[in-house]
Structure formats: structure tokens, C-alpha cells
Amino acid sequence: MENKTFSIPKISCGHCVMSIKNELTELEGVMNVEGNPENKTITIDFEAPASTEKIVETLNEINYPPA
């Protein structure tokens, strides 16, 4: 299992974190998503078939691109 933390400058509140969490948990292989609106980060636990590339692609699609 991999664990990655992404800086997401567009996060402004808990609702943003929840939107990201809802979208990313739809990806097969994503096991956990935690977010912190204060420091604008999300941390994701995942394994194959999920990948860093697929997670970044999804974040871009939902208009929360990582820095």
C-alpha cells in the first residue's frame, strides 16, 4: 500500500475536502482519504489498480489540481 500527501491550493473548507474524498474513494484501490483544510492538503492510502497518475488525473477533472 502506498501513502501520498498532496498540496491542494483550492481547498478552502471542510466541504472541499468532502468533495475530494467522495470522488477519490470511487477509484478502485483507494482505501482512505484524509484532508486538512487548514494546511490545504489531502493524504491518500491506495494500492493497485489506483496510481498516483490516476489520482492526479481525477483531482484535475474535479477542479482541485495538486500544486
Q: What is the pLDDT of residue 2?
A: 96
Q: How would residue 39 be classed by pLDDT, with cut points 50, 70 and 90?
A: very high
Tell me how far CA of residue 64 lies from CA of 3, 6, 38, 53, in angstroms: 19, 11, 15, 14
Map out the domains of the chain with their CATH numbers: 2-61 (3.30.70.100)
Query: For the whole model, what pTM was predicted?
Result: 0.93
* DSSP per-residue string spanning the chain: -EEEEEE-TT--SHHHHHHHHHHHTTSTTEEEEEEETTTTEEEEEE-TT--HHHHHHHHHHTT----
Q: What is the pLDDT of residue 45?
A: 98
Q: How would residue 37 be classed by pLDDT, with cut points 50, 70 and 90?
A: very high
